[in-house]
């Protein structure tokens, strides 16, 4: 056989393999994309290979905005329940608040899991409270809940106010230069110092050292590249393929950093018999629980890898969400000076009653500040949607729509928050929406920035308290105005689920 003939045969074999592979892929998708049609559920069309959503590396709006647009499209069509696709996976979504209440709360036993892929063996840091499900989640949630009681929050409050003083001193020093502030960066330093102390018992000193490892790692977590987003999408929807390709959800340097911090801190405390009132101490106590009733992996006792995972999620949740919320509060107040002045008047009045001290009780009295924070969370929820996974076949009440076991459910938080059925002129910033009277007249599930039900954000009260301390530290002494470096309208990064503004939010701060 001649060399030419051999090459032709090889080429033909290769062509046959490619055609066969493409045929298999196309047939798979054709079958997958008939899932909702075969079940008589309204659905949005999908294209191969990405499904209904845009390719993660070619997205022109943020994922939160894209999910919001899907919600709006369904509302226009008059759909209460519908399906769409991510890659080949069927996703269920509802626009009906009563159904959302059932999924998140009333019939929670059918939707215990979030549906987030966790590869605990290859990447144990991903097996944290936010992601895991089942019995382990229940046990850990029960163990962690006391960390966020009023008593424990009061114990941590001094740490927050100390960080607030550092924030105030830093701004006071820098404001004399008359330069605009990248406010998210500054508030990121504030949040990093708080979480570093409350979670790890470490002094980060972010204002003195903005390049400290915690700050750098925090920024790295939420600034994914397009390739990382692509890998993450595949990992969430094709976990077996992701394992085969050895995809990781996190940069290995992140895992190495947090593992070293936790291991070193635990060794130091146990060797020197150091006890602190913080999150890490709770984990150490769980690790050393030796009454014999616990089983490895049940969430009642912890390995060092499991401790690293819980510390990791405590850090990323507390660092990013609070700094983001405070950033958008100050952005909106810079555009609404009358609202800003009303907030400031409340702060000054209440602090005067408490001899000028920022205390746990004085913050609790600042109701209008809380209205401003809530309205900000409505417009800019830290998570624009949340997910649940059906763990047992479920029929939506009052319908014949069945959500089958293993199907994921998306709860479109941002879509609900911008729904004109619940909020007139939703693009307008109006804290009056959150007076006691207005809240009572509105379905409580029309405002769910922290989720709802048994899996509501465990650190919600801590996050609000942290945000209040930061905002009070700034607003009591500084007038905030918008700097021209802030590009409007705001454009959000397409590489982050949490809303991040391209080009940053730049503000002028003027000493009062």
| CB-CB contact of 323 with 206 (8 Å) | no
Residue set of the binding site? 457
Angle between helices 337-353 and 460-475 (to 10 degrees): 100
What is d(CA 403, CA 356) in angstroms, rounded to the nearest whole number?
55
Q: Which residues are annotated as a binding site for heme?
A: 457
CA-only gyration radius of the chain, Å: 25
Pairing of strands 394-395, 402-403: antiparallel
Calpha distance 500→491 (Å, rounded): 8
**What is the number of H-type helices and E-type strands within the chain?**
19, 9
> What gap in Å lies between CA 477 and CA 479, rounded to an integer?
7
For 479, the enclosing helix (H) or strand (E) is: strand 478-482
Greatest CA span in the chain, whole angstroms? Answer: 98
**Any residues with CB less than 8 A from the CB of 122 and at least 6 apart, and which?**
243, 246, 248
Q: Please write down the long-range contacts of 284-291, taking CB distance under 8 Å and 24 or more positions apart.
A: 286/143
Count of other CB atoms within 10 angstroms of residue 32 = 16
Could you tell me how far CA 169 lies from the centroid of its own chain? 29
Residues 6+ apart with CB under 8 A from 167: 186, 187, 189, 190, 207, 470, 473, 474
The residue count for the chain: 512
Q: 407 vs 44, 85, 116, 232, 455, CA distance in Å?
A: 16, 11, 12, 18, 18
Q: How far is Cα 173 from Cα 167, in angstroms, rounded to an integer? A: 10
Note whether 3 and 59 are within 8 A (CB). Answer: no
Distance CA 35, CA 45 (A): 11
Residues 6+ apart with CB under 8 A from 138: 112, 299
């Amino acid at each position: 056989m001649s060399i030419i003939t051999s090459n032709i045969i090889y080429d033909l074999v290769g062509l046959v393999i490619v055609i066969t592979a493409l045929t298999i892929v196309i047939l798979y998708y054709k079958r997958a994309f008939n899932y909702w049609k075969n079940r008589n559920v309204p659905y949005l069309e999908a294209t191969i290979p990405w499904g209904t959503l845009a390719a993660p590396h070619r997205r022109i709006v943020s994922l939160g905005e894209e999910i919001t647009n899907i919600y709006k499209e369904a509302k226009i069509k008059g759909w209460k329940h519908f399906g769409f696709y991510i890659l080949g996976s069927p996703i269920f979504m509802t626009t009906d608040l009563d159904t959302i209440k059932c999924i998140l709360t009333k019939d929670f036993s059918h939707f215990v899991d979030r549906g987030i892929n966790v590869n605990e063996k290859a990447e144990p840091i991903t097996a944290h409270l936010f992601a895991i499900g089942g019995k382990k989640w229940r046990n850990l949630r029960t163990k962690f809940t006391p960390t966020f009681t009023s008593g424990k929050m009061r114990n941590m409050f001094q740490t927050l106010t100390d960080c607030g003083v550092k924030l105030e001193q830093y701004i006071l020093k820098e404001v004399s230069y008359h330069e605009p502030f990248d406010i998210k960066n500054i508030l990121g330093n504030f949040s990093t110092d708080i979480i570093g102390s409350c979670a790890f018992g470490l002094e980060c000193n972010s204002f003195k050292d903005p390049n400290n490892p915690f700050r750098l790692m925090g920024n790295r977590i939420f600034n994914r590249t397009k390739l990382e987003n692509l890998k993450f999408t595949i990992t969430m929807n094709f976990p077996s393929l992701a394992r085969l390709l050895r995809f990781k959800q996190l940069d290995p340097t992140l895992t190495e950093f947090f593992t070293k911090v936790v291991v070193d801190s635990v060794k130091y405390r146990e060797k020197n018999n150091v006890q602190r009132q913080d999150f890490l101490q709770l984990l150490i106590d769980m690790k050393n629980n030796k009454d014999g009733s616990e089983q490895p992996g049940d969430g009642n006792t912890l390995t060092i890898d499991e401790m690293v995972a819980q510390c990791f999620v405590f850090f990323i949740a507390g660092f990013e969400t609070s700094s983001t919320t405070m950033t958008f509060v100050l952005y909106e107040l810079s555009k609404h000076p009358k609202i800003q002045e009303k907030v400031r008047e409340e702060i000054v009045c209440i602090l005067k009653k408490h001899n000028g001290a920022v205390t746990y009780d004085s913050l609790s009295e600042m109701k209008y500040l809380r209205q401003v924070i809530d309205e900000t969370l409505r417009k800019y929820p830290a998570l624009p949607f949340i997910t649940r996974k059906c763990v047992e076949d479920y029929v939506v009440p009052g319908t014949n729509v069945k959500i089958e076991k293993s199907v994921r459910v998306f709860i479109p938080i941002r879509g609900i928050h911008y729904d004109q059925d619940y909020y007139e002129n939703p693009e307008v910033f109006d804290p009056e929406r959150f007076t006691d009277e207005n809240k009572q007249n509105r379905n409580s599930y029309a405002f769910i920035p922290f989720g709802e039900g048994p899996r509501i954000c465990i650190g919600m009260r801590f996050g609000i308290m942290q945000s209040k301390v930061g905002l009070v530290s700034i607003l009591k002494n500084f007038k905030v105005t918008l700097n021209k470096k802030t590009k409007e309208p705001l454009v959000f990064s397409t590489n982050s689920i949490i809303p991040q503004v391209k080009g940053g939010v730049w503000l002028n701060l003027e000493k009062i």
